[in-house]
Structure 1
């Protein structure tokens, strides 16, 4: 399935690689037809807290490692990764830094997920993809794949843009979008049993304004 893009709204605060606000909204030309393999994901309200250690899922068509490209047929990859708190993530990124480089800082609108020992991570080509977590009975998008130092390296977990940090910006662009609150008992659905979408906006975010097929959708095959 292909979805044509009507427009892309980049966050005006974005200042380049590894900066804050590395996120954009993608508006599709037409509504998406949902089925058993293509489903929307909820956008969390700032009241939702993604706890340290919570296992979430990252998905993408990127490289399985720094050296290898995803072979044909290009099957969507997925990986369970635990949330890492910001102080620990900053500590990890301060270790083993090359002398010629300033250690990277995890900003307030960033979220780390992965493993201190490395070995498993998102990689090149996954940027803009989702980090989703099951909270109660709802799948929520906690983050957007933003950057990392290499792929699956020791002390270098993946860094994501924290969706809840950009609630006000998203709300200004899509004022009618329903955000999932922490106290909600489950996903809101319309009369057909589907989660509501705001016009042609899918409730998903993409970093770098990358226009990829199904960038605005969560698809686990």
Structure 2
């Protein structure tokens, strides 16, 4: 009987300890990677029956501290999705990494018959002329220009470029998040544009060609159309701001993108993520009065991008609602749900041992 009682006691205690171990394993721990904490989940508002869980994203969160015309130098890792599109080893356009094997840029960076093997993509660089150890050059596997594009200042100035091979994300190579079609970037919102383009019209960015950044406010479409109608020369065809375009910059000029910045990202930060709001497309001159920069509106092309990249996820920023899951004790100073479960089960084991002893 004593032996049986001992077996019963050990069996009950063992079952409880097994449950305890299972719960503790399930609770997990918080592991940070590339500046992102996968234990933090921010749920976006429902879109139909689908809810975006933020913990699956490794985009839009650089780990570094946070010149276009009138711009300033970036620092290493500040914009880890920025890429240089190169043709025959020479920088021709900017672009943005959106997954481990896709970048997005401007359609006008390519000719209709462009050969992918003539291009390569430089990632992880903030200086074009140096031997930065974190930079990576990868060939181009395929180029997809949007079929709507019909020349300068027309709609559809967007292209997808598939890399010849996937990249491994590092602190210096991370994709930017893509906004869902219903994300709105309001007029006046301060965003950033980056690139290795000319520092003024006809003047190259000097060596070592550090990546330039410029903060620009979003300009509403009607205002932008009005600005572009001012001081039109008689012999110049009027360029229209289409519905798939957005403007950002300054009516007084002085600060703007320029040649070589084309295809680069216009980025706006919402909550904790950087979203790709636009793609550098066109303008009249560089930093001219009443001629702000014109960008392709990324949200206008969610459907086209998804047809090419079916598993691409588009982000609807959460409205401050944060869900915390699998936090372990690291997130709550030892007083999270797993702490109380552990304490309760240990108390039960101790009580049963006392009763069955």
Structure-1-length-normalised TM-score: 0.81
Tell me which of 128, 133, 155 is aligned to 1:20.
Answer: 155
Within 1, Cα distance between the matches of 2:244 and 2:201?
A: 26
| CA displacement 1:13-67 (0-9 Å, x = unmatched) | 1111110000000111122222223221001101210010011110111101103
Say whether the 8 Å CA contact 1:110–1:161 is kept in structure 2. yes
Q: CA deviation at 1:184?
A: 6.7
Of 262, 278, 292, which residue of structure 2 is paired with 1:127? 262
Who is 1:153 aligned against? 288
Question: Hey, what's the Cα distance between the residues in 2 that align with 1:184 and 1:139?
Answer: 15
Structure 1 unmatched runs, 5+ = 187-221
Which runs of 5 or more structure 2 residues have no equivalent in the other structure? 1-135, 322-357
Could you tell which deviates more after superposition, 139-148 or 38-47? 38-47
The answer as to 2:29 corresponding to 1:29 is no
Q: Distance in 1 between matches of 2:238 and 2:223?
A: 14
Alignment of structure 1 residues 36-75 onto 2, 5 Å:
36-75=171-210
Task: Give 1:71-220 correspondences, 5 Å limit.
Answer: 71-183=206-318
Shift of 1:103: 2.1
Secondary structure of the corresponding residue to residue 224 of structure 2: helix
| Secondary structure in 2 matching 1:144 | strand
Identify the structure with the greater helix proportion.
Answer: 2
Q: Does the 8 A contact of 1:137 with 1:185 survive in 2?
A: no
> How many residues get paired?
186
Deviations 1:166-202 (A, max 9, x none): 111011111110110143769xxxxxxxxxxxxxxxx
Structure with greater Cα Rg: 2
What is residue 24 of structure 2 aligned with on the other side? Answer: none
Please report the RMSD computed on the Cα atoms of aligned residues, expressed in angstroms: 1.3
Question: Contact (CA 8 Å) 1:47, 1:182: kept in 2 or not?
Answer: no
Structure with greater contact order relative to length (CA < 8 Å, sep ≥ 6): 1
Residues 152-178 of structure 1 deviation map (CA, whole Å, 9 limit, x = unaligned): 000000000000001110111111101
Match of 1:167, SS state, is helix
Q: Distance in 2 between matches of 1:53 and 1:64?
A: 24
